[in-house]
Amino acid sequence: MPGPRYVGGQCPRRSYLAIRASELWYELLIVTGSDDPGELGSMERRRTGQASQSPIEVLSQLPSLVVLDRLPVAALAVADDGAIVFANRACAEMLGFTQKEMTALTFRDLFCAMPADSSAVAAMRASAGVIVELKHRDGSPVKARMSKSALQRDDDPVALATFQDLTEELWVRGS
């Protein structure tokens, strides 16, 4: 039995888009295990012909958030107003939060002893290379060495730094 007939034998565009949207939503559920579109950052799409590309070409086509999320070291991006705009899995695990919970926090929620009179980006730049104290979800302190921001222009509205957890090492040494 043939399918429904449409004017000109074509399916209306709106119906096609609605069907395609539901297929993509279902694919999101299957691939990420979540219906949160924010989880798409952890999904990697393979491109046709990728095997014939050089390693640098493959690397240059990877989305930056996917790469940052997969780093084994904690990475955190903070906006000038103090909003946490990105935290990778390693950072969330180090502080006992989920990634989604991390982006609901602010700079002041996580950093124990930062100057109150400066912006979050300025405070992070001033603390580059030193040991900072962060707050774990359970309230305990997490001591970590913070890197220099990867975004270095004075007018950058965000700071992106990595953190090396030193809590256990400092506890053993008694510092």
- Per-position pLDDT tens, the chain of length 175: 454 444 444 444 444 444 445 455 445 444 455 555 555 544 445 555 556 888 888 888 888 888 899 999 999 999 999 999 999 999 999 999 999 999 999 999 998 877 666 788 888 888 889 999 999 999 999 999 999 998 878 788 999 999 999 988 877 777 5
- Residue 173 in contact with residue 161, Cβ under 8 Å? no
Q: Contact, 41 vs 63, CB < 8 A?
A: yes
Measured CA to CA in angstroms, residue 15 lies from 11, 12, 151, 160 at distances of 7, 6, 44, 43
Q: How far is CA 139 from the centre of its chain?
A: 23
Token pair of 134, please?
């962060």
* CATH of the domain spanning 69-173: 3.30.450.20
The confidence score (pLDDT) of residue 28 equals 47
- Going by C-alpha positions, the residue among 28, 52, 53 that lies closest to residue 42 is 28
The Cα–Cα gap between 48 and 65 comes to 21
pLDDT attached to residue 5: 47
pLDDT at 118: 76
Q: How many Å apart are CA 101 and CA 103, to the nearest integer?
A: 6
Q: Report how far Cα 9 is from the mean position of its chain's Cα atoms.
A: 45
Identify residue 76 by its one-letter amino acid code: L
Q: Where are the domains of the chain?
A: 11-43, 69-173
Q: Please give the order of strands across the beta sheet that includes 74-79.
A: 84-87, 74-79, 158-165, 141-146, 131-135
**Lookup: tokens for 35:** 């219906």
